[in-house]
Amino acid sequence: MRLELLKTLNEERAARRAAVLITDTQSGEQRLVKGADIAGDVLAEQLDAALRMGKSRSVEVDGRAYFLTVQVPPVRILCVGAVHISQALAPMAKLAGFDLTILDPRTAFATPERFPDVKVIAQWPQDALPDLRIDRYTGVCLLTHDPKIDDPALIAALRAECFYIGALGSRKTHAKRVERMMAEGFNEADLARIHAPIGLDIGSVSPAEIAVAVLGEIIAALRKKPLRAEPQA
């Protein structure tokens, strides 16, 4: 690999940005495509599919073979609310390979005893989020039912273009949430990105079942694989 390509690849990695190194397997020629530039590339479809899966792969286009070396940041999940759903979701997310953090200013709930082996931050979102640096490879779950806690995190998640934003609550609760966010300057397209009520509609009742539904929705948002119950594009 040429030194300038390696330098750029390392810069993108340090900044938590996706990139794909394309190698023409016949000529050995290489070029690097940053995640933000994929839409305009001649291999856009193949690059997008590789990034969604997060795996390097070989592809053939117009009779030429390429190897796509995929670099994607580790996916993170931020749960705002140290609640029963979070307790069930944390070990599930770990099994699925996600790095999960709990954020809740209520120190009676946000304790290491309730969340063993999980990063727990007992601070208000507006205080903790600048250091957490959420981004497009962060999924955010809003689980407190308290606008004073959820709303600052929601505003930050929308501005950071997080790949997944889910919010607990009824449709009536969400309608009020939408009103508050529109007052903050967000438009309908922004707010359409919020999954509310949170989680796949699988009839879940218990905290553990809801956690399964939430994790499934997060994975679907990340991989963008249509569900078998949904029409195929």
Q: Give the model's confidence band at 120: pLDDT under 50 very low, under 70 low, under 90 confident, else very high.
A: very high
> 52: domain range?
3-71
Does residue 82 sit in the same domain as residue 196? Answer: yes
Q: Which of 71, 86, 111 is the last residue of a domain?
A: 71
Could you tell me the pLDDT band of residue 231, with boundaries at 50, 70 and 90? very low
CATH code, domain carrying 134? 3.40.50.720
What gap in Å lies between CA 212 and CA 89, rounded to an integer? 7
Average pLDDT, the chain: 92
Q: Are residues 165 and 65 in the same domain?
A: no
Q: Whole-model pTM?
A: 0.85
Are 67 and 93 within one domain?
no
The larger pLDDT score, comparing residue 18 to residue 215, is at 215
Which of 54, 71, 88 corresponds to the end of one domain?
Answer: 71
Assigned token pair, 78: 């931020």
Helical residues (DSSP H) of 60-206, grouped into ranges? 84-95, 125-132, 147-159, 171-183, 188-191
Triad 82, 210, 158: Cα angle to 5° = 65
* Inter-helix orientation angle 44-53/207-223, to 10°: 160
Q: What is the mean pLDDT of residues 17-22?
A: 93
CA–CA distance, 233 with 221 (Å, rounded to integer) = 16
pLDDT tens-digit readout, 187-206? 999 999 999 999 999 999 99
pLDDT for position 19: 93
Structural domain count, the chain: 2
Q: What is the largest CA-CA distance in the chain?
A: 62
In this structure, the answer to whether residues 97 and 30 fall within a common structural domain is no
In terms of domains, do 30 and 88 share one? Answer: no
Report residue 225's pLDDT band, with 50, 70 and 90 as the boundaries.
Answer: low
Contact 196, 177 (CB under 8 A): yes
pLDDT tens profile 152-199:
999 999 999 999 999 999 999 999 999 999 999 999 999 999 999 999
- State residue 162's pLDDT score: 95
